[in-house]
Amino acid sequence: MTIANVSQGGAVGLPQALKTAQEAIHLPEVQEMLRRLSQFKLGIFMPHMHDEHTGGFRPLPEEVTQVESGLEVSFQTSDDVARQTVRFLPVGWCWRAGASTASAVCEMDRSEISDDTEGYTKHKMISGS
């Protein structure tokens, strides 16, 4: 198996918080955390969004959650997402205000689940798929 290491050669043009994240992934202690997380099939990601006018990278604000639905990504207020726990499956977490908090979620299709069934069936797809 081949492992690819994708790199743009630097964090040019990123906000400082995201430059810090890009540089930190190479630190031995972060690599050790990543190795340990991999035992649980988890990884590390850089919470971010993009400026809707320029496309530039922006740190993901604490009050915003990245939402994947119908194979598209949007950004919603964290409070709105937190009130819909049945609808969304957390897939990314950040440490905020002293606790683990979902920062990325996938909208789930629960149409095939009866009221007495627990769990998720599949990811919500584009209408008509």
pLDDT at 12: 75
Condensed to tens digits (0 to 9), the pLDDT of residues 91-113 reads 999 999 899 999 999 998 876 65
Q: Model pTM? A: 0.79
What are the residue ranges spanned by the domains of the chain? Answer: 11-58, 60-129
Task: Enumerate the H helices of 8-127 as residue ranges.
Answer: 16-24, 28-38, 78-82
**% helix / strand / coil in the chain, to the nearest 5?**
20, 30, 50
- Tell me, rounded to whole angstroms, the distance of Cα 95 from its chain centroid: 13
- Tell me, rounded to whole angstroms, the distance of Cα 125 from its chain centroid: 18
Taken in order 85, 90, 96, 100, is the CA torsion positive or negative?
positive
pLDDT at 64: 96
Condensed to tens digits (0 to 9), the pLDDT of residues 31-86 reads 999 999 999 999 999 999 999 899 999 999 999 999 999 889 999 999 999 998 88
Token readout for 80 is: 């709105």
pLDDT band of residue 1 (cuts 50, 70, 90) is very low
The Cα 106–Cα 72 span in angstroms is 10
Condensed to tens digits (0 to 9), the pLDDT of residues 3-40 reads 556 555 566 789 999 999 999 999 999 999 999 999 99
